[in-house]
Amino acid sequence: MAGLAESGSNPDVDLLYDINGLAKDAPHWFDRIVEFVGEYGLLLAMILLIVWCWWGVRRRPGGAEEAASSVAALVWAPLAAAVAVLVNVPIRGFVERPRPFRDHQGLEVLVSGKTDYSFVSDHATLTMAMAVGLFVANRKFGLVGIGVALLEGFCRVYMGVHYPTDVIGGFALGTAVALLLSPVASMLLTPVLRAVDRSPRMGWLVRSRSARAGDREGFARGVRPEVAAEERDLAA
């Protein structure tokens, strides 16, 4: 499928020039920062956000079942991103949309050497899939993740390597994969995490010692683990 026409009457192209035009007016050092952030930084930030959420989830009392399902949802977030990128491979091959700088003159391209097709954006797909997967596990962290994904999409257009619709397509693909396959992923991953939780050596991946102690305390008082967890949250 051919790239977009060079006519400025196309709103996708107009928005591309508007956003990428900011790079021409920005200081050189700022463009270098956006280049690093858009290429590597925000992906790393999403991974660290998932790890941060996992660290908090495993320390929260609530019982083995709740812990296993919560950690399973977090494990699904990066797996969803990987699945979404694999799904994108045939989509790119079918659409065959060239990078915008190949069809349009005067763009400020911050990253050179991009020779693959443009639609849809892998970076937008990756970050949004992880963000939506994280949202399923924890809404507070997920909202932050969605903000990171939106910023990633803006950076890709700012850098001159994607059309806005490439980014929107990536957001849609990442969201669809993360949400539609989430029930199946939970069904498959939760039993695995239950088994990990019972392992003497690997159990810390699902529940920390403090979480287990809190669960035992709740059982000793005759309180269900999830109720004990709610009491701790209210006390905090």
The answer to whether position 9 is within a domain reads: no
Identify the domain containing residue 136 by its residue range. Answer: 47-97+114-151+164-235
Q: What is the pLDDT of residues 166-214, one digit of tens each?
A: 999 999 999 999 999 999 999 999 999 888 888 888 877 877 676 665 5
Task: Give the span between the Cα atoms of 176 and 171, in whole angstroms.
Answer: 9
Residue 41 lies in a domain: no
**Is 227 inside any structural domain?**
yes
Q: Is residue 42 part of a domain?
A: no
Assess if residue 212 is contained within a domain.
Answer: yes
On whether residue 107 sits in a domain, the answer given is: no
Cα–Cα distances in angstroms (integers) from residue 46 to residues 36, 57, 90, 227, in the given order? 15, 16, 25, 31
As a whole number of angstroms, the distance between CA 68 and CA 112 comes to: 44
Residue 144 lies in a domain: yes
Number of structural domains the chain divides into: 1
Q: What is the pTM of this model?
A: 0.83
Q: Which of 175, 164, 8 is nearest to 97 (CA)?
A: 164
> Using CA atoms, how far apart are residues 53 and 45, in angstroms rounded to an integer?
12
pLDDT at 152 over 90: yes
pLDDT in tens, 38-61: 999 999 999 999 999 998 887 776
Give the number of other Cβ atoms within 10 Å of residue 145's Cβ. 26
Whether residue 231 lies inside any domain: the answer is yes
CA distance 233 to 216: 17
Q: What whole-number distance in Å separates Cα of residue 196 and Cα of residue 193?
A: 5
**What average pLDDT does the segment 81-102 reach?**
93
